[in-house]
Amino acid sequence: MRKAMTLIELVLVLVIIAVLGSVAVSSFKLNHLRDDVNIVFLKFTNTKYQAVGYEKALNDIGTLNYAIGCIDLDSESLKNTKNEKTKSENYKFHSSVTNDSDVSILCFDNYGRTYDGSIDDNKTSFESLLYEDVNISLSYAGKKATLSIQPRTGYIKVIYW
Measuring CA to CA, which residue among 158, 154, 160, 159 is closest to residue 46? 154
Q: Which residues have CB under 8 Å from 139's CB, separation 6+?
A: 33, 95, 96, 98, 145
pLDDT of residue 58: 63
The mean pLDDT value for 8-21 works out to 94
Amino acid at position 73, single letter: L
Number of neighbouring beta carbons within 10 Å of residue 99 = 17
pLDDT in tens, 51-84: 887 777 665 555 667 788 899 999 888 888 877 6
**Residue 143 banded pLDDT, cuts 50, 70, 90:** very high
pLDDT of the residue at 61: 55
State the DSSP H helix or E strand holding residue 22, giving kind and residue range, or none if neither.
Answer: helix 7-27
pLDDT at site 35: 92
pLDDT of 25: 83
Domains and CATH numbers, the chain: 32-160 (3.55.40)
Give the C-alpha distances (Å, rounded to integers) separating 108 from 13, 52, 93, 147.
56, 8, 25, 16
0.75 cut: is pTM over it?
A: yes
